[in-house]
Structure 1
Amino acid sequence: MSIEIDWSAFVSVFIAALIGAVAIVSFYATGLRLLVRAGRIPVVSPAEFTDAITILSEKEIKRAEKHAAKAATKSPLSEGQKKIALLGAYGCFALCGAAVLAGVLLIVFNH
């Protein structure tokens, strides 16, 4: 009994996975960047768990939210440019979701 590996198939799967990963990360990073430029800085309050390594105090959370609000008002873009950046961010997030969905569909229907 011998096992043979189809190296061309292995390389094609590797390249497809690499391109997919780079595309998803690029779309997501660009979407976040455009979201920040549009003045919609995502501030996520940390979850507090009993076994958490770092728990932020209310003071630290308020300081981070104040800093995000201050940064949002400093945007040099006009209102029209902010709307275009926001639409671009949503478009990048949609492309990221479409790339993930395409990968799942390839796995489900192409085996």
Structure 2
Amino acid sequence: MTMFTLARTAASPGAGQFLGVDWGSFVVVFLVALVATTVIVVFYSVGLRLLAVGSPADGSDERGRRDAPPLSSASVARPRPAVATVGAVLCFAVGVAAVLYGLWLIVPQFH
């Protein structure tokens, strides 16, 4: 191949494709990755929130002060319900399963 042939081949991408990229497939991959990422993050954050059930309320500046009034009964730690713990574990399991499935899709030796 001569230099002229290489330049002409590089200058003419696939028919109907800008820069030789199949943009329809690119958009599909982008949307699937966006949805999968959103689902994993939502499940992780819900799992963290479920683990926080029963813990004392945070965000109060009164705790660090010596002249602060005694803590109210609303800020006392309560034991976490078993349902919240099971829900948190399930949320984390969904996230871990999604990550492992992604790895299975990427690594060809797993197929």
The bucket for the TM-score relative to the shorter chain is 0.5 to 0.7
Go from structure 1 to structure 2 and tell me whether the alpha carbon gap of 1:96 and 1:6 turns closer, same or farther (over 3 Å shift): same
Question: How large is the RMSD of aligned CA atoms in angstroms?
Answer: 2.7
Find runs of 4+ consecutive structure 1 residues off by over 6 angstroms: none
Q: Give the deviation of 1:72 after TM superposition.
A: 6.4
Q: Which amino acid aligns with 1:30?
A: V
Q: Which residue of 2 aligns with 1:13?
A: 29
Change (3 A) 1:72 1:6: farther
Corresponding pairs, count: 77
Measured after TM superposition, the shift of residue 16 of structure 1 is: 1.1
State the identity as a percent: 42
Give 1:18 shift.
Answer: 0.2
Opposite residue 20 of structure 1, the aligned amino acid is: A
Q: In terms of Rg, which structure is larger?
A: 2
SS in 2 for 1:25: helix
Q: Which runs of 5+ in 2 are unaligned?
A: 1-8, 14-19, 56-63, 65-74
- Structure 1: runs of 5 or more not aligned: 40-59, 61-70
1:37 alignment partner, SS class: coil
Contact kept, 8 Å, 1:38 with 1:83, in 2: the verdict is: no
TM-score normalised per structure 2: 0.59
Q: What's the TM-score, normalizing by structure 1?
A: 0.59
